[in-house]
């Protein structure tokens, strides 16, 4: 399990800041085109890196479930849902809600992988759901704007997609190192996002003011962070991965507060603490 901790640290550092950066970029970019650039540029960057290292290879048959799971779920669907949600949901809340994998991983690990789950871990799901309700404030949805509820639904759906991708990589481990599969994963993600961007945002794109953000997210954070996240998810238990990935939204909230000036209201603090308590409870078993 210790072998997964360095990957977890890289994932937290890169993905903790990616949502504030993306939120700032959307001032001069449309969500789906930014997501498409993220996937496409990451595919190019990872291809060039592997070519320089002499490790660019065609995938093997054993690699296909992992490539399809990551490309469709963790990249295509996750990118589309989270970037669209950022149009309506603050970056800090986005960082928290799209990372609530513990709610999905525990029941899905029982159903798909046959894991045994204790009473404490089921309790963790309940506590975490209370945190989600605190963040969503369903009693005040009407005053939060017309797109907030769909935005929250997209983020919870994105966390489900990420959880499913983790389960796929654990159930069908690839024959090659995940780093060598990233170009194919990102290509699948980009192939799914391209027609969606053309249909949903026919006049969209990325303005000059957002290209520095797009370059960092696409060429650095997306390929390196995704690789580290996948490796951490494969090498750590589902519960340990959920605990570790909690640091991602914590860092995202901190950066959103310091850089974007997003307020740390009682709902953000209470929701974050409840979600944190849920994953700690789950980890203790």
pLDDT tens for each residue of 110-163: 777 666 767 776 777 777 777 767 766 665 555 555 567 788 888 889 988 988
Q: Per the confidence metrics, is the pTM higher than 0.85?
A: no
* Count of structural domains, the chain: 1
Higher pLDDT, 120 or 7: 7
Mean pLDDT of 255-273: 67
Per-residue pLDDT, 197: 94
pLDDT given for residue 207 in this prediction: 92
Residue 185 in tokens: 């994963």
Greater model confidence, 31 or 9:
31
If one counts every other C-beta atom within 10 angstroms of the C-beta of residue 44, the result is 17
Q: What is the band of 173 on the pLDDT scale with cuts at 50, 70, 90?
A: confident
SS3 11: helix
**Does the pLDDT at position 238 exceed 90?**
no
Instruction: Tell me how far apart the alpha carbons of residues 247 and 193 are, in angstroms, rounded to a whole number.
Output: 28
Q: What is the pLDDT of residue 47?
A: 95
| pLDDT at site 49 | 87
Return the ∠ at Cα 222 (arms to 103 and 182), rounded to 5°: 95
CB under 8 Å to 123, separation ≥6 — which residues?
A: 281
Rounded mean pLDDT, 89-118: 69
CA distances from 175 to 3, 65, 66, 275 (A): 18, 11, 10, 35
CA 194 to chain centre: 19
Q: What 3-state DSSP class applies to 29?
A: strand
Q: Is the pLDDT of residue 230 over 70?
A: yes
The pLDDT, as a whole number, for residue 107 is: 74
Instruction: Please give the pLDDT value at position 162.
Output: 86
pLDDT of residue 202: 92
Q: Is the pLDDT of residue 10 over 70?
A: yes
Spatial neighbors of 265 by CB under 8 A, at least 6 apart, are none
* C-alpha pair distances (Å), 113 with each of 117, 160, 181: 11, 16, 23
Given a cut of 80, whether residue 211 has pLDDT beyond it is: yes
Res. 73 pLDDT band, cuts 50 70 90: very high
Full domain range(s) for residue 170 = 2-284
Region 259-282 average pLDDT: 68
* Residues 237-264, mean pLDDT to the nearest whole number: 66
What values do phi and psi take at 206, rounded to 5?
Answer: -125, 120
């Amino acid at each position: 399990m210790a072998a997964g901790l360095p990957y977890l640290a890289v994932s937290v550092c890169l993905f903790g800041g990616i949502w504030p950066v993306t939120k700032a970029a959307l001032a001069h970019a449309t969500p789906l085109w930014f997501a498409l650039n993220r996937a496409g540029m990451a595919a190019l960057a990872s291809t060039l890196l592997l070519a320089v290292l002499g490790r660019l290879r065609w995938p093997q048959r054993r690699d296909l479930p992992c490539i399809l799971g990551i490309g469709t779920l963790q990249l295509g669907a996750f990118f589309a849902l989270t970037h669209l949600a950022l149009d309506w949901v603050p970056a800090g809340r986005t960082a928290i809600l799209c990372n609530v994998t513990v709610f999905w991983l525990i029941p899905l690990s029982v159903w798909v992988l046959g894991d045994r789950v204790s009473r404490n871990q089921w309790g963790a799901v309940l506590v975490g759901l209370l945190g989600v309700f605190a963040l969503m404030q369903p009693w005040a949805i009407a005053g939060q704007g017309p797109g907030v509820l769909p935005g929250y639904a997209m983020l919870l759906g994105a966390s489900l997609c990420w959880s499913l991708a983790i389960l796929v990589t654990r159930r069908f481990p690839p024959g090659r190192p995940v780093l060598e599969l990233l170009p194919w994963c990102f290509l699948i993600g980009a192939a799914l996002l391209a027609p969606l961007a053309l249909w949903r945002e026919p006049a969209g794109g990325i303005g000059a003011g957002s290209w520095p953000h797009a370059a960092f997210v696409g060429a650095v954070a997306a390929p390196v962070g995704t690789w580290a996240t996948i490796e951490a998810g494969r090498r750590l238990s589902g519960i340990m991965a959920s605990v570790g990935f909690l640091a991602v939204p914590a860092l995202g909230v901190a950066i959103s507060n310091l850089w974007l000036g997003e307020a740390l209201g009682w709902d953000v603090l209470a929701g974050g603490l409840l979600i944190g308590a849920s994953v700690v409870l789950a980890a203790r078993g």
